Structure 1
Amino acid sequence: MRKQIAAIAAACAVAMIMSAGPALAHPNASNGARGNSSHSTPTPVTEVASQLISPLKVAFGSNGSFLVAESFVGQLNSYSAQGVKTSLVNAPGQEIAGVSYLDGITYYFDNDQGTGPEPGGELLPARLMSLDQQGTTRQITDLSVFEANNDPDGATVYGVRDASAECLAQAPYLQATGELFSHPYSSAPVRGGVYVGDAGANAILHVSNTGNVELVKALPAEAITIDASVVAVAAQVGMVVPDCMLGLKYYAQPVPTDIEINGQWLYYTVLPGVPGESLGAGKAYRMNVNSGTTQLLAQGLAAPTGIAVDKTNNVYVAQLLGDGVSVIKNGQVSNVLPAALASDVEVGGSTLAALTNSLAETGGSLVTTGLRNGR
């Protein structure tokens, strides 16, 4: 069993095909805030740019600009507040991902793409790049080298762990260890380096400015109870779940989809691999980078792929298969920006920027809205 949700964007496209309607919160979710349909009255929304091709990550750039990774076409573009486009990176055939910005430096990933039918089939170069204001590009490190030497989840057992030998023999594809695969997808720069969410390694890493890579956290597998909804999802991807596994836990791959640094806290979203991405089993966490203490902020999220934090520590999440961008505040989750296919969210000052309709055939949009006091 390889990671069928290894490449986040490809995985979410699969999830959309499997989902005939809005994603449902998984009935076994507990502890922490849950995703819900409550709404705040939205402020006016401005569409900065439209017809973007697979816009999956956004960051605030210099002079009021927005940096957008249009991943499937290998582009990194800057958009002014008036929507004027400037091409920064154009690399057809590559995946450009995880754009972020700090002190005049733009960071992004330049990931090689495999030729096989399934992501994760081979270990390919996954480069963390920097781009300065003079247009000079530098490769900081190739994260696939760290994966080859360390493989943080290589010993983790995914799938069904507690089935009897006779039961597992009926569906051996429902258990495997982590594959050797690097897919850096999100970044958060700080003084001296960059935190990286590696969606292939299922880990959060820190890369120094000189390219030294250290493991910050190997994410634990996400447990999902096998019930009728799990069986139905498995059937849709051609997998049979035997009756003897009903009621057992399925340990899904804990794919990190976005990270954000705010003070000593690192915030991150997790989209559990099959079957979690189509069952509304996504979660948001925060981890103290000094102590390692981790707190669950919200669960029952519908494919969370973006996270941001404002100056009053309110947490925002973009739910690709949910109802847009929501805020997590005082243990409650409420919608603040209704939208379809919201792939990312960023907050700068009193402005919220989001990518919407990100996988739509008509193209995605970069939109902004103002944040009111107390939200």
Structure 2
Amino acid sequence: MRRLRTALPASVAAAAAALVLVASPAVAHGGKPTPRPPVVTDVATGLVTPLSLAVGPHGTTYVTQNFPGLLTAVGRDGTPSVLYASPDGGEVGGVSYADRRITFTETQLGEEGPVASEVSTLRTDRWGNPTGAPRVLADTFAYERAKNPDGRTAYGLLRTGRACLEQIPAGPLPARYTGIADSHPYATTTVRGTTYVADAGANAILSISERGKVRTVAVLPPQPAVVTAEFAASLGWPDCAVGQTYWFEAVPTDVEVGPRGVLYVTTLPGGPEDDSLGARGAVYTVDPWKGKVRQVASGFVGATNLAVTDQGTVYVSELMGGRISQAGRRGPSTVVEVPLPAGLEWDGKGLLATTNVLPPDDTTPPDGHLVRVDLGKHRGR
């Protein structure tokens, strides 16, 4: 994965929606109560970069604290307890839960990106308590180095003339290239013994069998964006690049199983993650048997996670957009505004989410939240 990283917009980092407690629905002029708006309630606070979560049994929620490398269980009363700590200081993320098994990812980061990555499982009892030590299910970094699923996929200025390409500097964004060997497993989900992985480095959805066999389900398609004058100037690109289309890598950030076994995937656009080149985050469906990929929603700013109901309603957390939205054919609609959301899950009654997942600046202590979102009028849709 090669993508231009951008700092969080100050407007997003500073914006924090108030948590509104509603005692009773208001009454409209026609005598009918107006639909109650969504209500956000804190479950736990003081978490450090809680980028993913999973709904566990009996009110337990599993939350990863990615940068300190912790897998945490949050009880019904909001009390957190550490289940696993990376012994090598790796990033722990991508947590999911199914069949009394917690699945999570661990990635070792070097100066230029990941240098090791794997998917592990942790068995639990009926109450969700670990019953042993984690077991490595698969080494995704080794698979990526051997297979490199997007190794033949071309990225960059694919339709730009040679004369202009020769004026493009070598960095920070290559003029043209094919997918590099890079693995950063970011999200997991398990169904009928098969674990699906959204690998943000490989730009692909992988599957892992119960015996640890890895295969590529699908490579996400390149993400086109028109080069603006401001973007070209920021890279030191010549004027001839302005108005050209650059095909960025798709960066899958979550994978969930929806109705009829279809996979739903969120993607970051692989370039600027804010809206400087437009709101380019998207949701795709992936056929887990044939690998067919279809875009079903777009227009998201920082689509970092999604939740899918039994009826197929899709909710998306937009990290840079500061909201949880509902995906629709005409674009996303805001469900609730929350500061810096990341993890998102549907528990059958409403949404669980993580917010405030990154500090707004270098001097503010981390204070990530696990919250419950009572959807009000959105419930059951």
TM tier relative to shorter chain: 0.7 to 0.9
C-alpha contact (below 8 Å) 1:252/1:276 kept by paired residues: no
CA distance in 2, matches of 1:355, 1:48: 10
CA distance in 1, matches of 2:148, 2:101: 29
CA distance in 1, matches of 2:237, 2:339: 32
C-alpha contact (below 8 Å) 1:41/1:336 kept by paired residues: no
The residue type equivalent to 2:113 in the other structure is P
Identity rate of aligned residues, in percent? 35
- Indicate the residue corresponding to 1:36 in structure 2: none
2:56 to 54, 61, 71: 61
TM-score normalised according to structure 1 size: 0.85
* Worse-superposed segment, 210-219 or 324-333: 324-333
CA distance in 1, matches of 2:303, 2:153: 23
The residue type equivalent to 2:7 in the other structure is A
The residue type equivalent to 1:273 in the other structure is G
CA distance in 1, matches of 2:42, 2:195: 30
Matched, 1:132 2:132: no
Unmatched runs of 5 consecutive residues or more in structure 2: 14-34, 125-130
C-alpha contact (below 8 Å) 1:324/1:342 kept by paired residues: yes
- Indicate the residue corresponding to 1:106 in structure 2: 102
CA distance in 1, matches of 2:293, 2:155: 21
- Indicate the residue corresponding to 1:35 in structure 2: none
- Indicate the residue corresponding to 2:270 in structure 1: 273
Matched, 1:52 2:47: yes
Q: CA deviation at 1:351?
A: 2.3
Aligned pairs (5 A) from 1:16-95: 16=8, 19-21=9-11, 42-91=37-86, 93-95=89-91
Q: CA deviation at 1:311?
A: 2.2
Question: Cα gap change, 1:41/1:177 in structure 2, threshold over 3 Å: closer, same or farther?
Answer: farther
Question: Cα gap change, 1:295/1:354 in structure 2, threshold over 3 Å: closer, same or farther?
Answer: same
CA distance in 2, matches of 1:184, 1:330: 29
Matched, 1:119 2:113: yes
C-alpha contact (below 8 Å) 1:3/1:119 kept by paired residues: no
Aligned pairs (5 A) from 1:153-164: 153-164=150-161
* Worse-superposed segment, 124-133 or 168-177: 168-177
Mark the structure with the bigger radius of gyration: 2
- Indicate the residue corresponding to 1:261 in structure 2: 257
Aligned pairs (5 A) from 1:207-222: 207-222=208-223
The number of residues matched between the two structures is 339
Higher relative contact order (CA 8 A, sep 6+): 1
C-alpha contact (below 8 Å) 1:160/1:175 kept by paired residues: yes
Q: CA deviation at 1:241?
A: 2.1
Q: Which runs of 4+ in 1 moved over 4 A?
A: 329-332
- Indicate the residue corresponding to 1:282 in structure 2: 281
The residue type equivalent to 2:11 in the other structure is G
Unmatched runs of 5 consecutive residues or more in structure 1: 6-10, 24-39
Q: CA deviation at 1:332?
A: 4.6
Q: CA deviation at 1:156?
A: 2.0
The residue type equivalent to 2:200 in the other structure is A
